[in-house]
Amino acid sequence: MKNKLSFKNIHTMVGPDAEIRGDINLNEGLIIYGKVYGSISSGGDIRIGKTGKVYGDIKAHNIHVGGEVFGNVTIDDKAELGKYSTLDGDLIYKQLYIEEGAKFQGQCTILNEQDNLKQNISENTLEEPL
């Protein structure tokens, strides 16, 4: 596939024998081979290997799911669901690639430039404390 994501800036890895309970917040990329019980937010790309499992929501720039995700996924650009992947949750994305054999149950929403602009404005708007 010509449009496959390349994951060059992966700075953090969750190994196959690792189990993380709690939310993960990163500026750079993440690759997961183990289990994560919590939400993940990354300014970079996320790759979930065949043995990787995430039980929580994910927000990132790009994602490749090769394992299992049980939660909602919000992606700024490209989302790929590999042939052995399972996604049980809603997906928001700009571009979507689904390989034959992938399992997906949820609702898809395509981001357009206007949605992206609204999202950036709402994220950068500060509220005054009460």
Residue 6: pLDDT band (50, 70, 90) is: low
Q: What is the pLDDT of residues 56-75, one digit of tens each?
A: 999 999 999 999 999 999 99
Region 29-43: mean pLDDT is: 97
Secondary structure of 117-128 as H, E, C letters: HHHHHHHHCCCC
Is the four-CA dihedral 60, 64, 65, 67 of positive or negative sign?
negative
User: How sure is the predictor about 8, in pLDDT bands with cuts at 50, 70 and 90?
Assistant: low
- Whole-model pTM: value is 0.81
Mean pLDDT over 89-110 rounds to: 96
